[in-house]
Chains A and B, each alone.
Chain A
Amino acid sequence: MSRSSSWAREALAVFGKDCLLELRTRVALGAVLLFAVTSVVASGFALAPPSGVAGEVKASLLWVIVFFAAIAGLSRVFVVEEETRTADALRLAVSPTGVFVGKLAFNIALMWALCVVTVPLYLLLLEVPVRHWSLFVTVVILGSTALACATTAVGAIVAKATMRGALFGVLAFPVALPPLLVAIHATKAAWLSEGGWRMATGDLQVLVGFMLVIVPASLLVFEHIWSE
């Protein structure tokens, strides 16, 4: 069996294990969704029409909610391994690349689940007029994926430290800021501007480029974070 297929298989196994674990406990999904839905409802109370809040503010707020909801749950996937003391077993069974790719896939899935629930609710409660639907959906998919890519390795760092909850937000923010800013910018283009795709093409390129840089960088350092 070749090397490449072995880590892909391992990653798939890790992803499957984490999904199963999540379906049984629903800790990460519960934390993330509860946080997001509460924030969306709270914003809806305050900002729903006829409050006259500008679309720019709503676009920023959507991504702020998504980011902080992600902070509530994305480190879970590594913290749980340390808490249940299963990290050593995983280290023995699976290569670091397999672990990282599997956990990253899980975090991406978690972000997508978060967006599937939160974004429609947000659009409904805050009555956002979306001009370019295809662009907006693309931005949400790429933006949430980029956020997961940026924060997965940080989650692995945090799992090894003390005061994990507070630390994750502090450490994740600078790394997640580039995709966050770009996603906000592109969302404004999708909601408000006439240009739509033409306005946001550069933003989408930056999002993809960011993922193409941060994932290999994470893979390079992950081995050093993960191994004792």
Chain B
Amino acid sequence: MNAVAKILTGVWIAGVTVAAFLWLPPAQGFRSPESARIVVFHVPCAILTFVAFLVNAWYSWFYLRRREPLLDMKASVAAELGLLFAVLATVTGSLFAMEQWGSAWNWDPRETSIVMLMLVYAAYFVLRGAVEESGKRARLSAAYALLAFPAMVFLIWIMPRIVESLHPTNTLFTGSGLDPVYRITLWSFFVGMMAVFVWMFRLRLRVEMLEARVRRRRQTEPEPTLTGVQP
């Protein structure tokens, strides 16, 4: 991302944040109308969690097809960001739940599914930590990501059948439910966060690639202090 895009992203997010507090009216019909503004920040984080999960599955699939180490790095970076946004979505959601429903955790289907996503990501990194060899690690973690993917789709699909949801459904895209002003602010914030996501993704990827290069160099060059020392 070049400098102009970075500055634009910063200004955009700052603008949307200011608009969320000054332009957005307090949401009527909520227990504390002022605190409902957090929805504007909460929902984009939740959507980005699922976007990251999709990106992770996508690169995992391509890694298994092509076996290029770069694809594995991309998959793991997407999972890292997914975990970060999952935490952000959970924290903002809990704050709002505390205000609105009186408790930070209600075992709502969406709450459960985001915790399950976090568990999948956590298991993914535990697995990556448990395999030494890089090629094997990439293969196994990609396979696990692709196994967890249908399970998560099922979970998100079946949970609302089993338990009643506190979350509204079908308000993001259809006209009913969400005030147009809210919808515009929410999606504007999403665009800003998406840019941050892309930026962080590329930054983390560069770090990963540099780390891999350092590791390769260490492997090819022997330790300088040990050369010429007789046992």
- Which of A171, A177, A209, A221 is the one whose CB lies under 8 Å from B64? A221
Chain B residue nearest to A169 (CB atoms) is B123
Q: For B116, give its contact among A154, A157, A163, A177 (CB under 8 Å).
A: A177
A213 at the interface (CB under 8 A from B): yes
Residue of A nearest to B121 (CB): A174
- With beta carbons under 8 angstroms apart, the residue of A150, A170, A225 that contacts B140 is A225
The answer to whether A80 has its CB under 8 Å from any CB of chain B is no
Among B148, B150, B154, max chain A CB count under 10 A is at B154
- Tell which of B140, B149, B151 touches A178, judged by Cβ atoms closer than 8 Å: B151
Q: Would you call B98 an interface residue if the criterion is a C-beta within 8 Å of the partner chain's C-beta atoms?
A: no
Question: What residues of chain A have their CB less than 8 Å away from a CB belonging to chain B?
Answer: 150, 153-154, 157, 160-163, 167, 170-171, 173-178, 181-182, 185, 202, 206, 209-210, 213-214, 217-218, 220-222, 224-225
CB of B146 to closest CB in A, whole Å: 5
B183 part of interface (Cβ distance < 8 Å): no
Pick the contact of B123: A160, A173, A178, A217 (CB < 8 A): A173
Chain B residues contacting A209 (CB-CB under 8 Å) are: 154
Q: Which residues of B contact A176 (CB under 8 A)?
A: 151
- Inter-chain CA distance A157–B127, complex, in Å, is 9
Q: How far is the CB of A143 from chain B (nearest CB, A)?
A: 14
Please name all residues of chain B whose beta carbon is closer than 8 Å to the beta carbon of A162 when the two chains form the complex.
130-132
- On B, residues with C-beta under 8 Å from A are 64, 116, 119-120, 122-123, 126-127, 130-132, 136, 139-140, 142-144, 146-152, 154-155, 158-159, 161-162
Q: Which residues of B contact A210 (CB under 8 A)?
A: 154
Are the CB atoms of A224 and B154 closer together than 8 Å?
no
Q: Are A178 and B147 in contact (CB under 8 A)?
A: no
Q: How far is the CA of A222 from the CA of B143 in the complex (A)?
A: 8
Across-interface contacts of B143 in A (CB, < 8 A):
153, 157, 221-222, 224-225
Supply 23 A–B pairs (Cβ within 8 Å), ascending by A: A160-B136, A162-B130, A167-B130, A170-B122, A170-B123, A174-B116, A178-B154, A181-B159, A182-B158, A182-B162, A185-B162, A206-B161, A210-B154, A213-B150, A214-B150, A214-B151, A217-B147, A218-B147, A220-B146, A221-B146, A222-B143, A224-B64, A225-B139
The 8 closest A-B pairs by CB, nearest first: A221-B143, A178-B154, A161-B130, A175-B151, A174-B120, A225-B143, A224-B64, A213-B150
Residues of B within 8 Å of A182, CB to CB, are 158, 162
Contact A217-B150, Cβ < 8 Å, known A167-B130, A182-B162: yes
Residues of B close to A177: CB separation below 8 A: 116, 151, 155
Contact B127 A167 (CB under 8 A): yes
A202 lies within 8 A of B161 (CB) = yes
Contacts A157-B140, A217-B146, A221-B143 known; list 7 others, CB within 8 Å: A162-B130, A170-B123, A174-B151, A178-B158, A181-B162, A221-B142, A225-B139
